[in-house]
Amino acid sequence: MLKRTLLSLTACVVMLLMVAVTGASAQNILLNPGFENGPTVAVPPTDWESFGNAYQEAASTVDYRFVPFAGNNLCSMYGNWSGAYNVSGIFQEFSVVPGDMCMLSSYARHWGGDAMIGSQATGGNWVVQKIAFFNNKKPQPEEIASVESIILDGSFAQDVWHYGVPICALAPAEAVTVQAMILYIQVDADGGAANIDDVYFCINGTVPVQECTWGALKALKEKE
Ligand SMILES: [Ca+2]
């Protein structure tokens, strides 16, 4: 497992270096990645699968609850108050073949008026970006591998956007689909809402050159 993880990291770093050198970028294959399409105000994000409390919202007019990173809209997520551990989420699914390299990045923010409290380490809520691979098992596909990173919790500064640096994952043997996910995990009925914007996902491509920084590379290396 460690070997595969290191291989995945190496490939990710190589891809980031390539884009830094060439200036190339790849197509974001997500539909409605910035939540700009479709209706707003307490409705699920258009083009995304969603569960729990995840809603497409327009920029606030009376406070700073919803301040999009870009455009006019964002996605707001919060817990379900349905048990000691529950999840709200949004995702999009795509076909893959073993060996495909997937990359995911996003932006997250929480408003001081409804801030998250604590972290996963302290028993609070947290938000992850996650790449998950599934096989073709009938009647229900199984999740066979995943990579995720925390993009927001109560330890993050309030009222500013935080860049979730790209995570990379190599599609393993038997993988037929991949899901690009944002998940809000609620523990013990803690409150706080997470805002998400400009999610980016590509397969066998690279993140936009403006998002490829030495800081991102360093963060990936330190994570290992
Ligand atoms: Ca937006």
Q: What is the pLDDT of residues 15-41, one digit of tens each?
A: 554 444 444 456 899 999 999 999 999
Cα 56 from chain centre: 15
Confidence of residue 3 (pLDDT cuts 50, 70, 90): very low
8 located within any domain: no
Question: Domain range holding 89?
Answer: 25-208
Mean pLDDT of 64-73: 95
> Above 70 in pLDDT, residue 116?
yes
Going from the Cα of 175 to the center of ligand 1, the distance in angstroms, rounded, reads: 31
Going from the Cα of 35 to the center of ligand 1, the distance in angstroms, rounded, reads: 5
- Global pTM reads 0.83
181 located within any domain: yes
20 located within any domain: no
The arrangement of strands across the sheet holding 126-134 comes to 49-51, 85-95, 177-187, 126-134, 143-153
- Residues contacting 75, CB < 8 A, separation 6+: 35, 45, 48, 54, 55, 56, 57, 90, 182, 195, 196, 197
Distance CA 72, CA 91 (A): 21
Give the pLDDT score at 82.
87
Going from the Cα of 164 to the center of ligand 1, the distance in angstroms, rounded, reads: 15
Give the count of alpha carbons within 13 A of 175, CB side only: 25
> Above 60 in pLDDT, residue 11?
no
Q: What total of structural domains would you count in the chain?
A: 1
Give the pLDDT score at 56.
97
223 located within any domain: no
Taking each helix axis as running N to C, give the angle between helix 2-22 and helix 214-223, from 0 to 180 degrees, rounded to the nearest 10: 180
137 located within any domain: yes
> Above 70 in pLDDT, residue 12?
no
The residues whose Cβ lies within 5 A of ligand 1, an ion, are 34, 68, 70-71, 73, 197
Radius of gyration of the chain (CA): 17
> Above 90 in pLDDT, residue 13?
no
32 located within any domain: yes
Going from the Cα of 57 to the center of ligand 1, the distance in angstroms, rounded, reads: 9
Confidence of residue 2 (pLDDT cuts 50, 70, 90): very low
Going from the Cα of 29 to the center of ligand 1, the distance in angstroms, rounded, reads: 16
> Above 60 in pLDDT, residue 162?
yes
Distance CA 195, CA 20 (A): 29
94 located within any domain: yes
Going from the Cα of 48 to the center of ligand 1, the distance in angstroms, rounded, reads: 14
Tens digit of pLDDT for each residue in 118-131?
899 888 999 999 99
Mean pLDDT of 158-183: 97
Mean pLDDT of 71-85: 92
Going from the Cα of 30 to the center of ligand 1, the distance in angstroms, rounded, reads: 13
Helix (H, G, I), strand (E, B) or coil at 87: strand
204 located within any domain: yes
| CATH number, domain with residue 59 | 2.60.120.260
